[in-house]
C-alpha cells in the first residue's frame, strides 16, 4: 500500500528536502507553499520522477483555516487517505519585542503554530479510523530554548512542541504518533533572510552573524542539512518508530545540550 503524505511549505528549503526524501521512498505526496507557478510545477514533476508515488500540489495559505481544511480534504479525495502530515510551513521575523510589528506577530503565530492545529484537526479523524498516522511537526531548537529578538518565533515553536505532546497523548491508542523535529540552523532561504535582519538588529556584519551568532550556538560548527532532516522524517514514518511519540527531537549539532 502506498502511503500518502502532506508536507506544508514544501516549495522551498527544509520542506522541499523532506519532500525529496519522501518521494525517493515512493510515497504519494501533496506539496504546498508559495512561489512561481511554473517553478512549482517543475518541482512537482521532478519529485514525481524521483519515485513510484504520485505528487500533487495544493496552494493553501497556512494563515487560512478554510484553505488548510481544503488541502486535507482534497488530498484524501485524490489519494484515498492522508497517512502522514508534516507541518513545516514557517516564516521568521527578527526584532526587539517592543518594536515587533503586530501583523508579523499574528502571521508567525498563524503560520508557524496554528496551521498545525488546523491540519491535525482535519487529518486526525481519518488516521484514527484507519489505525495509522504519523504527524511530524517541524519545530526548531527555538522550540526548546530562546534567543533574543525572536519573540513570536520562539513562542510559536514552544507552542508547537506543546501541541505535539498533547495530540500524542490523545492519539496514542490509535496507531498515530506525533513528534516534533527541532532543527538548529539550516542554510535555507529563510535563514539567508534572517542573516541580514539579525545583522541589522545587532549592528554587526552578515559574516559575524553566521560565524559568531548562528554557528556559535552549534558546537559542531556545521549547518544542519535538509537531507539529514528528510531522512529523520522518513524514519519517523516507519514501524521502527511506532513507539516514539510526543517527543521533541533536536537535530542541532549539540546546541541545546549546552
Ligand atoms: P523557507 O523560507 O525556505 O521555506 C518556507 C516554506 O513555507 C516555503 O515553501 C514557503 O512558500 C512556505 N510558506 C510560507 N508562508 C506560507 C503560508 N502562509 N502558507 C503556505 N506556505 C507558506 O524556510 P525553511 O528554512 O525551509 O523553514 C521551514 C520550517 O523549518 C519552518 O517552520 C522553520 O521555522 C523551520 N526551521 C528552520 C530552520 C532553519 O535554520 N532554516 C531551523 C529550525 C526550524
Residue 198 is predicted with a pLDDT of 87
**pLDDT, average across residues 195-219:** 90
Kindly state whether residues 14 and 41 are assigned to the same domain: yes
Query: Is residue 180 in contact with ligand 1, taking CB distance under 6 Å?
Result: no
Element (H, E) at 250: strand 248-251
Query: Is residue 198 in contact with ligand 1, taking CB distance under 6 Å?
Result: no
Residue 191 is predicted with a pLDDT of 87
- pTM of the model as a whole: 0.96
C-alpha dihedral sign at 203, 209, 212, 216: positive
Kindly state whether residues 213 and 159 are assigned to the same domain: no
| Residue 182 clears pLDDT 90, i.e. is over it | yes
> pLDDT band at residue 136, thresholds of 50, 70 and 90?
very high
Atom of ligand 1 nearest to the CA of 61: 19
**pLDDT, average across residues 148-162:** 98
Q: How far is the CA of 129 from the centre of ligand 1 (A)?
A: 30
Kindly state whether residues 168 and 137 are assigned to the same domain: yes
Atom of ligand 1 nearest to the CA of 190: 2
Of 117-126, 154-163, 214-223, 225-234, which gets the smallest average pLDDT?
A: 214-223
C-alpha cell at 115: 496551521
Cα diameter, the chain: 54
Nearest-angstrom CA–CA distance, 190 and 197 = 11
Q: What are phi and psi of 71, to 5 degrees?
A: -55, -45
Residue 45 is predicted with a pLDDT of 98
Overall residue count recorded for the chain in this entry? 258
Q: How far is the CA of 237 from the centre of ligand 1 (A)?
A: 21
Nearest-angstrom CA–CA distance, 181 and 249 = 5
Strand pairing report for 133-138 and 84-87? parallel
Kindly state whether residues 74 and 198 are assigned to the same domain: no
Q: What is the ipTM of this complex?
A: 0.99
- Domain that includes residue 210, residue range: 185-223
Interval 211-251: pLDDT, tens: 888 899 899 999 999 999 999 999 999 999 999 999 999 99
Interval 79-92: pLDDT, tens: 999 999 999 999 99
Interval 97-111: pLDDT, tens: 999 999 999 999 999
Interval 23-58: pLDDT, tens: 999 999 999 999 999 999 999 999 999 999 999 999
Kindly state whether residues 197 and 131 are assigned to the same domain: no
As a whole number, the mean pLDDT across the chain is: 97
Beta-bridge mates of residue 56: 30
Atom of ligand 1 nearest to the CA of 11: 9
Residue 172 is predicted with a pLDDT of 98
Kindly state whether residues 205 and 119 are assigned to the same domain: no
C-alpha cell at 203: 549592528
Query: Is residue 63 in contact with ligand 1, taking CB distance under 6 Å?
Result: yes
Residue 258 lies in a domain: no
CB atoms within 10 A of CB 69: 16
Cα–Cα distances (Å) from 54 to 19, 68, 236, in that order, read 12, 20, 21
Kindly state whether residues 145 and 229 are assigned to the same domain: yes
The HSE-up count of residue 22 (CA atoms within 13 Å, CB side) is 30
Query: Is residue 67 in contact with ligand 1, taking CB distance under 6 Å?
Result: no
C-alpha cell at 145: 530554548
Amino acid at each position: 500500500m502506498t502511503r500518502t503524505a502532506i508536507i506544508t511549505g514544501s516549495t522551498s528549503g527544509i520542506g522541499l528536502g523532506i519532500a525529496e526524501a519522501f518521494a525517493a521512498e515512493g510515497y504519494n505526496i501533496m506539496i504546498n507553499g508559495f512561489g512561481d507557478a511554473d517553478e512549482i510545477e517543475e518541482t512537482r514533476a521532478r519529485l514525481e520522477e524521483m519515485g513510484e508515488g504520485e505528487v500533487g500540489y495544493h496552494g493553501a495559505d497556512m494563515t487560512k483555516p478554510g484553505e488548510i481544511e481544503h488541502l486535507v480534504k482534497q488530498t484524501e479525495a485524490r489519494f484515498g487517505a492522508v497517512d502522514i502530515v508534516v507541518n513545516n510551513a514557517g516564516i521568521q521575523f527578527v526584532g526587539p519585542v517592543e518594536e515587533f510589528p503586530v501583523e508579523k506577530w499574528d502571521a508567525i503565530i498563524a503560520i508557524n503554530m496554528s496551521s498545525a492545529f488546523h491540519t491535525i484537526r482535519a487529518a486526525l479523524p481519518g488516521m484514527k479510523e484507519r489505525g495509522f498516522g504519523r504527524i511530524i511537526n517541524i519545530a526548531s531548537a527555538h522550540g526548546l530554548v530562546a534567543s533574543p529578538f525572536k519573540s513570536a518565533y520562539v513562542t510559536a515553536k514552544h507552542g508547537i512542541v506543546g501541541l505535539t505532546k498533547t495530540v500524542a497523548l490523545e492519539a496514542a491508542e490509535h496507531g498515530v504518533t506525533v513528534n516534533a523535529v527541532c532543527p538548529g540552523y539550516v542554510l535555507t532561504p529563510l535563514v539567508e533572510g534572517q542573516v541580514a535582519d539579525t545583522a541589522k538588529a545587532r549592528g554587526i556584519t552578515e559574516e559575524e552573524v553566521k560565524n559568531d551568532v548562528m554557528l556559535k550556538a552549534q558546537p559542531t560548527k556545521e549547518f544542519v542539512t535538509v537531507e539529514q532532516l528528510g531522512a529523520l522524517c522518513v524514519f519517523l514514518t516507519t514501524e521502527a518508530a511506532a513507539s516514539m511519540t510526543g517527543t521533541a527531537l533536536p537535530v542541532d549539532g549539540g546546541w541545546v545540550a549546552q
